[in-house]
Structure 1
């Protein structure tokens, strides 16, 4: 999506534009916590029209993307959804894609501004294969909801999170809070945006982020840095097929999962709410005087209060109380384990906390 993009839905009463990667759509429409509750209950729709949309056409589209990425694509039937990653040789996450199979194409939904780089990479990998990559971001965007939007497109990506897809593996507990948040992304033509939500109540990006963080779901535009590997974010659940063929970064994925440990882990933090503020992205997470990680996302949840995701060192004691330091402000924070400290080293381990999870 263009850096100058502004959604027509910013003309709605009370709309306040978001900043950063979400500029161009509303942060909220006057009542962010109420909007989050309405969104969770299926009574509101979120404008994600700034997200980029690509398509891959051609007879080799599924097998080609299968060989490039971490997920099994060749088994997708029309209307089915999945999530996949492109990794570096070192196994670090370079792209994340939400993939929807249509009758004669694959539709990709990616973070705002990520489409151009992904298009360039995919075109560099075409060689002689029968594939065609088109960037639709100038004409198409996304609407999000916890239910089907009857007035929107029939192109609907259904979030697999937090299920464990075929070939995946869970590094966190079975009673996952994300199971209470269905998440559907509807690909719509931008010139149909107003019509699709004409009779609907809207929720802004603050509401979207509130539900995402409470569901422990990582976001490419937030939890990713130049070193992140999928294991650290529990993305082996939905975005990695551990039994598929060769792809770039597969060796690291297999080695860390089978005989190693991810060096860091994402963690959910319940923040002290008495300060009436939120830490900023990048704020240090400390154990005593030692810096053990950084805040990646923070929000005010309509029920839980101030919450955050952070990426911290693997061996931090899950029972320890941490401190988030943002300038002169300190936030005491208790942990809720997402990726366990002993994640990995599953080769030969068939009992205990890390066991083969139920398949989705």
Structure 2
């Protein structure tokens, strides 16, 4: 059965359209633009309880995780977190996750339906929990699917600290700081979306109670629409929406934030190191400003076209309270920032004019290996 949050039964909750990536949690509460403004200027609370949560415990939890995910976590301190990926053998992104290390347990939360390519010779997909279990071998770790026990809420906005104080949570100011919640679960400070964000992993049986406590402390209900609009503005991808089956970390701003370029011994590391040291990714993720006058929008997976050539694919599409209709897109690096583009499926009559936001273009990466080779030749 598809997941459906208990909060969808609250007055004012509007569910996302069927098949939408945020199906199962409130899409908005009647005024998505006002919700976004509150998330930027005050504090809003978002139900993200459709996310999946795993825990990894045991004496070898960090050294073992270090071998199977893309991030450097052998010395991840208690009370801190990070982001990480699982890659396939060719370095393509299988899964994105956010971590929190607290009291001898690493908490991993991921988008719903997270999968990874099987370690078996014929590949195929399996759940992230099953993949991690298959990679455990003789390591002293315990992997547990805690989705039925913990649910994610997110506070957005510069006044999130006021809500944390009312909830009795003392949380450090640095990105990915982690602290225990009274009664179980954890709080984790995030550097996105927007300028201030805090994830709360609360007991799932008490989801409605934690939601009410957040509202009583001054947070405004906001839906996944507001969260996604700020995520798009922050140039943060969502796995499976802004990535396709060919996406590598370098294309979607996950190098350094979720993939470590210097550590070895994880699946797909060869591609990560090679592209970083001697190459350039074939595509990069940009923010597109969409022409909103036709009141039609492209959909995830639609082509981005320049002239007669397809030069990219549309990812997340959002209506932002200040920027208007925008989208993240993976486009070829050769596409000029000033190019006139069409985003959307013309045959389905949802192609609109689009322009790249020049501020969204990633800084040109100088490959260390290529630079060293040029010095030697010189």
TM-score for the superposition, normalised by structure 1: 0.86
Alpha carbons 2:251, 2:283 under 8 Å: kept: yes
Alpha carbons 2:304, 2:331 under 8 Å: kept: yes
Alpha carbons 1:12, 1:29 under 8 Å: kept: no
Equivalenced residue count is 331
Deviation at 1:29, TM superposition (A): 0.9
After superposition, what is the alpha-carbon deviation per residue over 1:151-181, rounded to whole angstroms, capped at 9, x for unaligned?
Answer: 38621223345xxxxxxxxxxxxxxxx6x52
CA separation of 1:328 and 1:21: change in aligned 2, threshold 3 A: closer
Question: Distance in 1 between the 2:190 and 2:147 partners?
Answer: 20
Deviation at 1:340, TM superposition (A): 4.1
Deviation at 1:130, TM superposition (A): 0.4
Question: Distance in 2 between the 1:98 and 1:139 partners?
Answer: 17
Question: Distance in 2 between the 1:41 and 1:75 partners?
Answer: 36
Alpha carbons 1:84, 1:240 under 8 Å: kept: yes
Corresponding residue for residue 93 of structure 1: 93
- Counterpart of 2:355 (choices 334, 350, 358) is 334
Corresponding residue for residue 79 of structure 1: 79
Question: Distance in 2 between the 1:110 and 1:93 partners?
Answer: 13
Question: Distance in 2 between the 1:87 and 1:344 partners?
Answer: 23
Alpha carbons 2:282, 2:333 under 8 Å: kept: yes
- Counterpart of 1:185 (choices 199, 218, 221) is 199
Alpha carbons 2:299, 2:344 under 8 Å: kept: no
Question: Distance in 2 between the 1:102 and 1:207 partners?
Answer: 29
Question: Distance in 2 between the 1:104 and 1:95 partners?
Answer: 24
Aligned ranges for residues 195-214 of structure 1 at < 5 Å? 195-198=209-212, 199=216, 200-214=219-233
RMSD: 2.0
Aligned ranges for residues 234-245 of structure 1 at < 5 Å? 234-245=253-264
- Counterpart of 1:223 (choices 242, 258, 279) is 242
Tell which has more relative contact order, 1 or 2 (C-alpha 8 A, sep 6+): 1
- Counterpart of 2:136 (choices 107, 118, 126) is 126
Which stretches in structure 1 are left out of the alignment for 5+ residues?
162-177, 351-360
Alpha carbons 2:278, 2:370 under 8 Å: kept: no
* SS class of match (1:194): helix
After superposition, what is the alpha-carbon deviation per residue over 1:185-218, rounded to whole angstroms, capped at 9, x for unaligned?
Answer: 1101112111112124211111111010011101
- Counterpart of 2:274 (choices 238, 255, 259) is 255
**2:136 pairs with 1:138:** no
Alpha carbons 2:314, 2:344 under 8 Å: kept: no
**2:334 pairs with 1:307:** no
Corresponding residue for residue 66 of structure 1: 66
Alpha carbons 1:262, 1:344 under 8 Å: kept: no
Q: Which moved more, 1:36-45 or 1:71-80?
A: 36-45
CA separation of 1:8 and 1:66: change in aligned 2, threshold 3 A: same
Question: Distance in 1 between the 2:362 and 2:191 partners?
Answer: 21
**2:345 pairs with 1:345:** no
Deviation at 1:341, TM superposition (A): 8.4
* SS class of match (2:318): strand
After superposition, what is the alpha-carbon deviation per residue over 1:81-137, rounded to whole angstroms, capped at 9, x for unaligned?
Answer: 100111111100111110100111100010012277110000001111100000011
TM-score for the superposition, normalised by structure 2: 0.83
Corresponding residue for residue 49 of structure 2: 49
- Counterpart of 1:8 (choices 6, 9, 13) is 6
Q: Which moved more, 1:309-318 or 1:337-346?
A: 337-346
Aligned ranges for residues 99-114 of structure 1 at < 5 Å? 99-114=99-114
Corresponding residue for residue 357 of structure 1: none
Alpha carbons 1:81, 1:159 under 8 Å: kept: no
Deviation at 1:301, TM superposition (A): 0.3
Aligned ranges for residues 272-291 of structure 1 at < 5 Å? 272-291=291-310
After superposition, what is the alpha-carbon deviation per residue over 1:195-242, rounded to whole angstroms, capped at 9, x for unaligned?
Answer: 112124211111111010011101113112111000000111301122
Question: Distance in 2 between the 1:92 and 1:83 partners?
Answer: 16
* SS class of match (1:223): coil
Corresponding residue for residue 159 of structure 1: 190
CA separation of 1:344 and 1:298: change in aligned 2, threshold 3 A: farther
* SS class of match (2:237): coil
After superposition, what is the alpha-carbon deviation per residue over 1:309-358, rounded to whole angstroms, capped at 9, x for unaligned?
Answer: 011112111221211133224321111254548546343649xxxxxxxx
